[in-house]
A and B are shown apart, each in its own frame.
Chain A
Amino acid sequence: MELIHVDGKDAGTITLYALSTCGHCKRTRQFLNELGVAYDYIEVDLLHGEAFDEAYNLVKKYNPHGSFPTLVIGSEETVIVGDRLKEIRAAIGK
């Protein structure tokens, strides 16, 4: 399972689990880009086999509903499900 890294200012570990076809996931990525923070993302619908299982099991670990986008922020692993941009800004600004 390989995460794709996006450069930016360091705001701790930020990982976005997304679907390549999902408008809400795209909006979340655009928002992270606008914030200018460094983050990693992965598009789970493009994975196969073990890489898929590994990524989706992680998504369900953080978000038992297994839905997208699932964003995991910081060492405390704050989880935000859906494109809740205000919450994302608040969690990253901490």
Chain B
Amino acid sequence: MVTRFDVERRYLALKKDAEQAGYFLNPDEDFTKELVHGLLVNEDRYGFASCPCRLCVGPREVNLDIICPCDYRDSDLAEYGTCYCALYVSGEIAEGKRQVEPIPDRRGPVPSECLTAQQKAGAPAASAPAVPGPLPYPVFRCRVCGYLCARDEPPEKCPICGAEKDRFEKFMG
């Protein structure tokens, strides 16, 4: 059961993180807290904070892209000034100079094979591009914020945005 206190606490934490990292939460506080409530419900229900405005079917591995902040947030902020659910918005919208409009979802529908009890693994990640010579270390990219690091394994958590290790993809090497 998600309480108002839980919502308030998470809202303040998200707001602080957003401000420190140069992002903005939606200035419509009541609406934003509805979204935070949805995130917390999903966290209870699925074990991870999947987007409140997207359908989550199957285990974490096939829904990594829609764990908030989702893989699509930065592209949607750049193109539309809002992420899909409108938890995060551009500075212009945060200042009230522009309104949030509904935007299309970059993620397609839930694949039909997920609609039965038999869950399939997610699509394989695109293979890392070839590089001219051998690299001393592979390069990993955080899908949430774009942070790159050259090391044997991705970090446990992204040092920039705090995303978990499984949100990293191999970028080079």
How far apart are the CA atoms of A22 and B54 in the complex, in Å?
8
Q: Size class of B's contact patch?
A: 20 to 34
Residue A5 at the chain B interface, CB threshold 8 Å: no
Q: Which residues of A contact B38 (CB under 8 A)?
A: 19-23
Q: Which residues of B contact A49 (CB under 8 A)?
A: 117
The digit string for B82-126, where 1 denotes a CB below 8 A from any CB of A, is 000110000000000000001111001110000111000000000
Chain A: interface residue total (CB-CB under 8 A): 26
- Contact of B42 with A53 in the complex, beta carbons under 8 Å: no
> In the complex, how many residue pairs between chain A and chain B have their CB atoms under 8 Å apart?
66
- Which of A7-15, A31-39, A62-70 lies at the interface? A62-70
- Contact of B52 with A67 in the complex, beta carbons under 8 Å: no
Chain B's closest residue to A26 (CB) is B34
Interface residues of A in 35-61 (CB under 8 A from B): 44-45, 49, 52-53, 56-57, 60
Residue A81 at the chain B interface, CB threshold 8 Å: yes
Q: Which residues of A contact B37 (CB under 8 A)?
A: 21
How far apart are the CA atoms of A19 and B50 in the complex, in Å?
13
Q: Which residues of A contact B42 (CB under 8 A)?
A: 21
- Contact of B55 with A45 in the complex, beta carbons under 8 Å: yes
Residue B172 at the chain A interface, CB threshold 8 Å: no
Q: Which of A21, A23, A53, A84 contacts B116 (CB 8 A)?
A: A53
How far apart are the CA atoms of A75 and B52 in the complex, in Å?
31
Residue B31 at the chain A interface, CB threshold 8 Å: yes
Give the distance to chain B from A67, nearest Cβ to Cβ, in Å.
5
A interface vs B, CB < 8 Å? Answer: 19-27, 44-45, 49, 52-53, 56-57, 60, 64-68, 81-84
16 further interface pairs, Cβ-Cβ under 8 Å (given A23-B35, A52-B115, A56-B115): A21-B37, A21-B38, A21-B39, A21-B52, A23-B31, A23-B34, A23-B38, A23-B53, A53-B115, A57-B115, A64-B109, A66-B110, A67-B104, A67-B105, A68-B54, A81-B102
